[in-house]
Chains A and B, each alone.
Chain A
Amino acid sequence: MLMPTPDATVIARKPQIVAALARAVPGGVIHDPAETRAYECDGLSAYRCPPLCVVLPRSTAEVAAVLQVCHAMGVPVVPRGSGTSLAGGALPTADCVVLGVARMTAVLETDLADRFIRVQAGRTNLSVTGAVEAEGFFYAPDPSSQLACAIAGNVAMNSGGAHCLKYGVTTNNLLGVTLVLMDGTIVELGGPFMDAGGIDLLGVVCGSEGQLGVVTEATLRILAKPEGARPVMIGFASAQAAGACVADIIRAGILPVAIEFMDRPCIRACEDFAHAGYPDCAALLIVEVEGAAAEIDAQLALILDIAAPHAPVAVRAAATADEAARIWLGRKSAFGAMGRINDYMCLDGTIPVSALPEVLGRIAELSAEYGLDVANVFHAGDGNMHPLILYDANAPGQMERCEAMGAAILQVCVAVGGCLTGEHGVGVEKRDLMAVQFSPADLEAQMWVKDVFDPAWLLNPAKVFPLAVSASRRAA
């Protein structure tokens, strides 16, 4: 992975930088190489580089002090939530300071009547729901890493999750942030009210991958938990049939809370691993609906009526919570099941839902061409694909071949009207494919935003934009 050459003058000043940071955050600086190694990568573990040092502030004021130091000394900063990014969003360079918000986890304000919670951004996603679930509320965006991932990272990547078809992604549930700019300026955007005034700066900060500022606090919408939820599993003889069934369900006016698609390779691997009782078929759907028991019954009955003309080869309803858990068991162990048999690379491209059969066909062709097997998981309601490319990390050259195949698949996604990444973000992983999706003018307009928020290009500078495209700004 090409990264900018570390600045030797910064590295040479390490003692002064560490000393200045220690004054800003007493007891919060990690600079021993044996300890900074823990921050050398995130969830994209193929790429690692220990940072110059790590600082773990405990407050917005300490974050501002850290950024002022780094700004004054010309040191790049890589913000880090929990380090679960699958795109290398928190990948350091040797001259950078990793600014981790993991010590900032407090709940600052909970208001059930006004339906919001305000938290420090280092708090984990699931523990936000944890703070309000006893009263019957939840925070909707729920990435599968939610046990570990931080709100800061969710805001940086505009994270989604299984519930996003019905409840939206982070930007649809984010009411406000406290943001610290690279020069230490503290900005409040939005708040505990619905329409913000002025230009939607909050909207552009969300999804900006830690490049516009460090989010230290977030005001989040909380929703009442539905009375219940239940899935049904339907197996099909072809991906076309499954895709057509999804379209018919949506056209009938049903809004499931989740629609998951798995292809045969994925089903087989999951079944071998989890023994959830999945049928051996070309494609299966797990559709989940919410409401009271009678409402769920009615929706599921309607879904099965809609599925019937598509000649399902298997149907499994869930009469009990236990049966419901078994339906989900296979799907939820998909990545673990893959990991058991192989190293794999998980892609994240999104496509128009109607293009699924065509894209699966192209992926099969690429699989034959590159000699690597692929299993496909797909969020059928919103078009987010997760092709899992299986490879052997120990075999020389296979990782590179896998990456090349991944890039080819993402180009197909863009070609059919989709995009490079639906959930994980660009980070470093898709940085060099940005020109596949965007024209130079499109990228320039995005970089104007960074020019405004971080004129020195010190915040996470090596991410999102191809290095050649951002070179003049980073050198300045």
Chain B
Amino acid sequence: MPRDERDLADAVRSAQGPLSVRGGDTRGMAGPGVALSVAGIAGVVLYEPGALTLVVRAGTPVAQVQGELATQGQRLAFEPMDHRALLGTTGEPTMGGVIAANVSGPRRVAVGAARDFLLGVRFVDGNGTVIRNGGRVMKNVTGYDLTRLMAGARGSLGVLSEVALKVLPVPQAAATLTLAGLEPGAAVAAMAAALGSPFDVTGAAHDVDGAMTRLRVEGFVESVAYRAGRLAQVLAPWGHAGIDTDPAADIWAQVRDLPDWGAMPGDVWRLSVRPSTAPGVVAALAGRARAARLDWGGGLVWALLPPGVDVRALIAVQGHATLVRAGADNPLPRQPPDAAVVAALTAALKARFDPRGILSPHPALAG
């Protein structure tokens, strides 16, 4: 198990065949091959709260990072999902995995995804060469943005060894507004009205089965009280919004992680769509879906379906569908297939960054 970046580079350089790189192995990313754990390449390299800057080795547990940031009243604002309950995996999620899979949560609709907080990377390419891109400053347009390229590449172009991130303050207070009984169409319209208001909504989710719509505001105490009140007025056409200024932190973590679907059998699909098309997507799946949830104001649709259903064949809207949880016997590609030109460009990039093809396969061909 590599203890540092140089060990990692040596291991990749001397590999004789496919490598199955894993951090905590909690998100189903590790492909076939000889296991290579990066969990030993861990530790905080730099943390400057006054500059909102964190530099951390890729194998560092997410929990450790969150704990250290919390001592300074800061956090990873993109609130990365913990997949373990949904997928039934154990292990300790690592920062490298969060970035490699561009893992985010409900607040993504307001502040951005993991890739939007990434300031720089160090990684080992498929030749075993250490490559640096970006840095540790927020404004950096020096050369090509391989930092963005590495975020969400799921290890196919290189193995992350170190990531630099922008962090944000933990707000003083939060409030959740709840509307009950809305159909998906009305829920998306209500969420659009909230997200289109100047009141800085940082969460907009709808549970289809429970007909529960939730909106979140965060900030200083008086500001939260004011904005919650104004938002309730914006939402009035859709009903009387309950305002909970002392919400269990749990509810948004549940929106983020879907832990109750862990025990529910079936395939889990995750669709990224144009928000106004989400009600149509839900309707198209209604006959078969066992459960459905919306996040990001409708821009994210989670659907629980009987095993083997091909959601991509049922839906024809702009966006894409990822098969997040399925049986090993399910032949459908887990990652959304790319358009031909995009697939060709991606394959050509892969051929340069990993000429021997020993890292994770190109996502859209991974199956």
Contact = CB atoms under 8 A, between A and B. Distances in A.
A193 B352 contact: no
A193 B297 CA distance: 11
A70 interface: no
A192 to B, nearest CB: 5
B348 interface: yes
A425 to B, nearest CB: 5
Nearest to A166: B111
B108 interface: yes
Given A448-B352, A452-B349, A298 B274 contact: no
A437 B196 contact: no
B349 A199 contact: yes
A442 B48 contact: no
Contacts of A137: 196
B342 A441 contact: no
A248 B148 CA distance: 30
Interface of A: 111-115, 136-137, 157-158, 160, 164-165, 168-169, 171-172, 185, 187-189, 191-201, 203-204, 206-208, 224-227, 246-248, 250-255, 291-292, 294-295, 298-299, 350-354, 379, 382-384, 417-426, 430, 434, 437-439, 441-443, 445-446, 448-453, 464
A250 B50 contact: yes
B198 A199 contact: no
Given A195-B113, A203-B149, A445-B125, A248 B141 contact: no
B51 A250 contact: yes
B139 A422 contact: yes
B146 A384 contact: no
Nearest to B347: A452
CB-CB nearest 6 A-B residue pairs: A203-B148, A247-B50, A422-B139, A253-B169, A197-B336, A197-B320
B364 A441 contact: no
Nearest to A158: B141
Nearest to B139: A422
Given A187-B342, A253-B73, 20 more contacts: A115-B196, A185-B341, A193-B273, A195-B104, A198-B346, A198-B363, A199-B157, A200-B152, A203-B145, A250-B50, A255-B168, A298-B222, A298-B223, A350-B137, A417-B137, A421-B141, A439-B132, A442-B132, A448-B353, A451-B352
B133 interface: yes
B115 interface: yes
A439 B169 CA distance: 34
Given A112-B196, A199-B149, A452-B348, A189 B139 contact: no
A193 B108 CA distance: 12
B170 interface: yes
Contacts of B352: 448, 451-452
B141 A352 contact: no
B212 interface: no
A193 B299 contact: yes
Given A111-B276, A452-B352, A421 B112 contact: no
A199 B168 contact: no
B200 to A, nearest CB: 8
B302 interface: no
A185 B339 CA distance: 13
Contact of A251 (B50, B125, B226): B50
B149 A200 contact: yes
Contact of A419 (B72, B140, B336, B363): B140
A352 B169 contact: no
A193 B353 contact: no
Contacts of A111: 274, 276
A192 B363 contact: no
Contact of B318 (A113, A193, A201, A227): A193
Nearest to B352: A448
